[in-house]
């Protein structure tokens, strides 16, 4: 199994940032499959745009048969993810 790919997101994140953020993560993953993407989210705001970004990154990783794990999520972000019904999708 390949070593995890580490990535950090710093905020705040605006809606206009989402396409570029997804493109950067796809570049980081490259053509590999089956890796784990560890994403440090300690620097993001717990808001709907952040959760949207994380859901998009999860989808991009899944399309490459990669697993995404979030690290250092605040209690507020965890609560928002659960409230938005993504607690089973985004691994916190």
Task: Kindly report the CATH class assigned to 5-83.
Answer: alpha beta
Return the pLDDT at 91: 76
pTM of the complete model: 0.88
Q: Provide DSSP, 3-72.
A: PPEEEEEES---GGGHHHHHHHHHHHHTT--S-EEEEEEEES--SHHHHHHHHHHHHHHHHTT-EEEEES
Return the pLDDT at 31: 66
Model confidence pLDDT, tens digit, residues 38-84: 999 998 999 999 999 999 999 988 888 888 999 999 999 999 999 99
């Amino acid at each position: 199994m390949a070593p995890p790919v580490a990535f950090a997101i710093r905020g705040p994140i605006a809606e206009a940032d989402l396409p570029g953020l997804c493109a950067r993560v796809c570049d980081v993953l490259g053509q590999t499959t089956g890796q784990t993407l560890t994403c440090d989210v300690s620097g993001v705001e717990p808001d709907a745009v952040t959760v949207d970004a994380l859901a998009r990154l999860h989808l991009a990783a899944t399309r490459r048969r990669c697993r995404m794990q979030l690290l250092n999520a605040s209690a507020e972000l965890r609560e928002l993810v659960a409230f938005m019904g993504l607690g089973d999708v985004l691994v916190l």
